């Protein structure tokens, strides 16, 4: 009975080894990867940086590859990707670096922050020229009704207004916790936390009155919001900079000076206008970024005015392919790993409990947190996403294999035993076929939940329908979100149907 | 407590009188003597159980059981449920390892580390047939032969033989167990048991789930097959009429012990223990024999 245990463990370690070696570092390759966070401004700045690098490279006739990995995720994910060498640089804000990354709210000046970054192997460019600080914005009607102009004015009317803050804002020390401390207003008790881009949707349709905004948001104007004055100076400065790996600076002095030349060239008005090109005019990020390089911002090239929505629409087939590959590979690994683990779990009680416990714990880890844990190990992109998807897909397969094998009639097992079948003959000719129905339904569960979970893979740049959904969230476009969500739902239905069809072929006839 | 009303003579309502008969005390040595006598005709072609004991959680399930079954003899293990008769079969098949004692076939002992060789000499028919539901009758029958890599011709040839022995309609071979009747399942299970031409056939209450008419039909068929194949047969049942009909020898088990072994008339006429009479009389009146 020891052989299957050894073989199972062997399979597991091979699987692990294969994945551990898939992590590739860009340090080894001659390319520069530009990342960005998942909101309009970060996308545009990422495009500007990438284009600037490309332009300067043409002059220098250097053949370093410039790769764009925009919209990878939130601060934590970008920072991990930068430290791990998956990306070379991304646009960041001085306030965020001090508060969220270095956890040093005491660092105020540019030089202080720059010095603190050095030990991490990072450096930042000179400020780009605008301060995109947090601000609180209210609906104009509400502002008029309660005569609100400053943040201090909120204190007496706190119970009268509905607040929706972005997740990041509710947790960062420079967000609502810091604000509450300075103004002595208990925001937390009245706040609903939501995705930042959805907060705009909520305030537009009037289901909330107050939200956090970035001072360069184009939506402040388009939604008719009033920005409340930070009369006690609670918010730190958020000067936009490009956060870069130090080894990039030493390896590519020419490219670095190109980035430094961006310093002081974008003021708040310019940035708000570039943001509006995407959110108001529905240009794609690259076209909006082109606005930076044009002499006059009013003169927009008509060919670049292809709406961002159409761009995403044209990518549906591509996204479907990405999504299917993600789900398919994850399912394959879940099968290859899950069935042996399920078999092992039936071997001994203690081992079985351990396997079921571990695969159960995987399920409880929130997906975003799991992705963050995996980035330092497997990098951003498909590697980490597959591991995460496998971890989620494993439990149904392991569990159903275990239960399927356990619920086989004792007398049939004795009979197989009495006929002189050895362990493997009994396993492959009797036990697995008898458990096939249960294993199969575990696979189906794994596939269908996998389709949903795979949308999160886009958070770390692995593509799929999630990329369309996140792009929609980033520019607050419900139609675009649907463009990603609806095919995912259709795919789940289709997969369900396909499993039904295969069911008739795969399950032994005598069991149907 | 067993019923005291004779099932077959309900109209007369006879009451068993054995309660009134004086108890006969039998000691162990006497029982052993009797067993020796049963296995008396010493031939090397013999299935033998030697002093097998087994306990679960300090409860004795099998207590020093010895038995010799020569080829061509059908030996019935008779007893009520819990008497240890099925456990004895499982031990003979190596599914349960006994605490003491062992099993021999033509002088060779069962080796628990390498049971395959042993098991191929033993045909087994479980309670309700034990057919695998995911395999057709045919696949069930030839399963072990395919794992032994028999070639196609050999399998087909042997299939024809066992089919003729058991007289199963050929079209039933392609059916799945759930498409077969109880009697048909039993015949398929028997075909599977004898496919490798074993020396011994073990049957664990093979007819328990069948209705009376099918049951007597299958009993007749079994008797014929036993007679024809001349194997050592060990059949477990709690039904005395079945034991009498199919068995050359009968061992009555109680609490993991063989109370008496012998022909039916031995058990009837010279019971070694009051329980022997009690068990026999509980099911039927044999006074007419």
pLDDT, tens only, A155-194 = 888 888 999 888 778 877 778 888 888 998 888 888 888 7
Q: What's the confidence (pLDDT) of residue A284?
A: 81
Q: What is the mean pLDDT of residues A190-208?
A: 81
Q: What's the confidence (pLDDT) of residue B6?
A: 39
Q: What's the confidence (pLDDT) of residue A101?
A: 87
Confidence of residue A8 (pLDDT cuts 50, 70, 90): low
Whether A19 maps to a domain, the answer reads no
Interchain CB contacts (distance < 8 Å): A and B: 66
DSSP string covering A211-234, please? EEEETT-THHHHTTEEEEB-TT--
Q: What's the confidence (pLDDT) of residue A305?
A: 44
**Where among A202, A228, A254 does a domain terminate?**
A228
B115 interaction partners in chain A (CB closer than 8 Å) = 420
Q: What's the confidence (pLDDT) of residue A366?
A: 83
Q: Say yes or no: A272 and A298 in one domain.
A: yes
Is the Cβ pair A418, B93 closer than 8 Å? yes
Q: What's the confidence (pLDDT) of residue B44?
A: 60
Reported for A259-263, long-range contacts at CB under 8 A and 24+ positions apart, including other chains, are A259/A49, A259/A52, A259/A53, A259/A89, A259/A125, A260/A125, A260/A126, A261/A52, A262/A48, A262/A49, A262/A52, A262/A125, A262/A128, A263/A125, A263/A126, A263/A127, A263/A128, A263/A129
A416 interaction partners in chain B (CB closer than 8 Å) = 132
Q: What's the confidence (pLDDT) of residue B175?
A: 94
pLDDT in tens, A40-66: 899 999 999 999 998 887 665 556 788
Whether A52 maps to a domain, the answer reads yes
Distance from CA of B133 to the nearest CA of A (A): 5
Report phi then psi at A137, rounded to 5: -125, 140
Over chain A, what is the mean pLDDT?
A: 83
Among B120, B136, B178, beta carbon nearest to A420? B120
Is the Cβ pair A412, B192 closer than 8 Å? no
pLDDT in tens, A281-333: 878 888 889 888 875 444 444 444 445 566 667 778 888 998 999 999 999 99
Q: Say yes or no: A152 and A70 in one domain.
A: no
Q: By the CB < 8 Å criterion, does B96 face chain A? A: no
User: Residue A210 is part of which domain span?
Assistant: 134-228
Residue A208 has pLDDT above 50, yes or no: yes
Residue A394 has pLDDT above 70, yes or no: yes
Is the Cβ pair A417, B94 closer than 8 Å? yes
Whether A13 maps to a domain, the answer reads no
Whether A44 maps to a domain, the answer reads yes
Whether B256 maps to a domain, the answer reads yes
Whether A20 maps to a domain, the answer reads no
Residue to mutate among B86, B134, B142, with most A CBs inside 10 A, is B134
Q: What's the confidence (pLDDT) of residue B285?
A: 55
Q: What is the mean pLDDT of residues A369-381?
A: 77
Q: What's the confidence (pLDDT) of residue A115?
A: 93
Count of domains for chain B: 1
- Cα–Cα distance for residue pair B134/B95, rounded to 1 Å: 23
Q: Say yes or no: A423 and A480 in one domain.
A: yes
Q: Say yes or no: A326 and A439 in one domain.
A: yes
DSSP 3-state of B284: coil
Q: Say yes or no: A493 and A408 in one domain.
A: yes
CATH number for the domain spanning B139: value is: 3.40.50.300
Burial class (CB in 10 A: 0-12, 13-18, 19+), B255: middle
DSSP 3-state of A37: strand
Reported for B107-110, long-range contacts at CB under 8 A and 24+ positions apart, including other chains, are B107/B44
Q: By the CB < 8 Å criterion, does B144 face chain A? A: yes
Whether A8 maps to a domain, the answer reads no
Q: Residue A409: closest CA among chain B residues belongs to which residue?
A: B130
Q: Residue A420: closest CA among chain B residues belongs to which residue?
A: B116
Q: Which of B289, B283, B274, B287 is nearest to B4 (CA)?
A: B283
User: Residue B220 is part of which domain span?
Assistant: 71-97+115-272
A431 interaction partners in chain B (CB closer than 8 Å) = none
Q: How far is CA A355 from CA A12, A432, B22, in A?
A: 12, 19, 63
pLDDT in tens, A243-295: 999 999 998 888 999 999 999 999 888 898 898 888 888 788 888 898 888 75
A283 DSSP 8-state letter = B
Residues in chain A whose Cβ is within 8 Å of chain B = 411-412, 414-422, 425, 429-430, 433-434, 436, 508-511
Q: What's the confidence (pLDDT) of residue A406?
A: 92
Q: What is the mean pLDDT of residues A394-410?
A: 92
Q: Say yes or no: A459 and A340 in one domain.
A: yes
pLDDT in tens, A449-506: 999 989 888 877 778 898 888 877 766 677 778 888 999 999 999 999 998 888 877 7
Which residues fall within 8 angstroms of residue A352, CB to CB, at 6 or more apart?
A344, A345, A346, A402
CATH number for the domain spanning A200: value is: 3.40.190.120
Q: Show the low-confidence residues of chain B (pLDDT under 70).
A: 1-44, 283-289
Count of domains for chain A: 3
Helix or strand run (H / E) with residue B229 = helix B212-229
- Cα–Cα distance for residue pair B152/B139, rounded to 1 Å: 13
Q: Say yes or no: A267 and A151 in one domain.
A: no
Q: What's the confidence (pLDDT) of residue B10?
A: 38
């Amino acid at each position: 009975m020891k052989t299957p245990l050894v073989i199972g463990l062997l399979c597991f370690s091979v699987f692990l080894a294969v994945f551990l070696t898939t992590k590739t570092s860009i340090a080894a390759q001659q390319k520069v990867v530009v990342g960005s966070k998942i909101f309009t401004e970060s996308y545009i700045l990422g495009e500007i940086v990438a284009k600037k690098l490309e332009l300067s490279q043409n002059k220098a006739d250097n053949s370093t590859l410039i790769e764009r990995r925009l919209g990878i995720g939130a601060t934590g994910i970008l920072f991990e990707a930068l430290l791990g060498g998956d990306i070379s640089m991304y646009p960041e804000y001085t306030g965020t670096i001090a508060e969220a990354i270095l956890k040093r709210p005491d660092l105020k000046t540019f030089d202080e922050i720059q010095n603190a970054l050095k030990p991490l192997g990072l450096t930042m460019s000179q400020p780009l020229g605008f301060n995109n600080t947090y601000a609180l914005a209210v609906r104009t009607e509400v502002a008029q009704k309660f005569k609100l102009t400053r943040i201090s004015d909120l204190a007496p009317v706190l119970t009268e207004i509905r607040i929706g803050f972005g997740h990041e804002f509710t947790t960062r020390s420079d967000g609502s916790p810091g604000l509450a401390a300075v103004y002595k207003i208990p925001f937390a008790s009245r706040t609903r936390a939501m995705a930042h881009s959805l907060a705009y949707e909520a305030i537009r349709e009037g289901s909330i009155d107050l939200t956090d905004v970035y001072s360069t948001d184009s939506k402040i104007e388009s939604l008719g919001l009033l920005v409340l004055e930070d009369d006690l100076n609670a918010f730190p400065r958020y000067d936009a900079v490009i956060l870069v790996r130090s080894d990039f600076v030493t390896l590519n002095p020419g490219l670095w000076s190109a980035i430094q030349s961006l310093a002081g060239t974008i003021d708040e008005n310019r940035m708000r206008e570039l943001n509006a090109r995407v959110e108001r005019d529905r240009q794609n990020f690259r076209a909006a970024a082109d606005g930076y390089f044009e002499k006059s911002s009013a003169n927009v090239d008509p060919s670049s005015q292809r709406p961002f929505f159409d761009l995403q629409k044209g990518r549906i087939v591509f996204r479907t392919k990405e999504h299917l590959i993600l789900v398919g590979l994850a399912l394959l690994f879940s099968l290859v790993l899950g069935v042996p683990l399920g078999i092992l779990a039936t071997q001994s009680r203690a081992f079985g409990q351990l396997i079921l416990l571990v695969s159960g714990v995987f399920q409880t880890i929130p997906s975003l947190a799991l992705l963050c844990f995996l980035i330092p190990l497997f990098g951003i992109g498909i590697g980490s996403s597959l591991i995460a998807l496998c971890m989620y897909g494993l439990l149904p397969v392991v569990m159903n294999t275990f239960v399927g094998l356990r619920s086989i009639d004792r007398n049939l097992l004795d009979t197989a035993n009495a006929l002189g079948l050895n362990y493997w003959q009994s396993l492959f000719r009797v036990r697995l076929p008898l458990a096939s129905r249960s294993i199969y339904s575990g696979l189906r569960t794994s596939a269908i939940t996998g389709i949903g979970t795979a949308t999160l893979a886009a958070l770390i740049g692995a593509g799929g329908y999630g990329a369309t959904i996140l792009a929609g969230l980033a520019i607050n476009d419900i139609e675009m979100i649907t463009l990603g969500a609806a095919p995912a739902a259709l795919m789940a239905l289709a997969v369900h149907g396909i499993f039904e069809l295969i069911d008739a072929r795969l399950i032994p006839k005598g069991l149907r | 407590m067993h019923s005291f009303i004779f099932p077959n003579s309900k109209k007369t309502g006879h009451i068993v009188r054995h309660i009134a008969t004086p108890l006969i005390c039998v000691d162990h040595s006497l029982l052993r003597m009797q067993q020796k006598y049963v296995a008396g005709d010493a031939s090397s072609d013999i299935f033998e159980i030697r002093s097998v004991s087994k306990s679960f959680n300090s409860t004795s399930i099998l207590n020093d059981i010895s038995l010799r079954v020569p080829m061509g003899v059908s030996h019935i293990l008779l007893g009520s449920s819990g008497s240890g008769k099925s456990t004895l079969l499982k031990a003979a098949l190596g599914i349960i390892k006994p605490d003491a004692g062992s099993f021999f076939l033509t002088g060779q002992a069962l080796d628990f580390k390498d049971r395959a060789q042993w098991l191929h000499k033993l045909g087994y028919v479980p309670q309700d047939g034990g057919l695998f539901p995911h395999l057709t009758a045919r696949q069930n029958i030839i399963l072990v032969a395919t794992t032994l890599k028999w070639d196609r011709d050999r399998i087909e040839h042997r299939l024809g033989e066992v089919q003729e022995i058991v007289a199963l309609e050929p079209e039933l071979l392609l059916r799945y167990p759930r498409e077969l009747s109880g009697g048909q399942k039993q015949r398929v299970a028997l075909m599977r048991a004898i496919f490798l031409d074993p020396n011994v056939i073990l049957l664990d209450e093979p007819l328990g789930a069948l209705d009376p008419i099918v049951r007597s039909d299958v009993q007749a068929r079994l008797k014929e097959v036993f007679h024809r194949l001349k194997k050592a047969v060990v059949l477990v049942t709690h039904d005395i009429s079945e034991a009498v009909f199919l068995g050359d020898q009968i061992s009555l088990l109680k609490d993991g012990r063989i109370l008496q072994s012998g022909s039916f008339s031995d058990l009837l006429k010279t019971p070694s223990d009051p329980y022997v009479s009690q068990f026999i009389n509980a099911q039927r009146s044999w006074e007419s024999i």
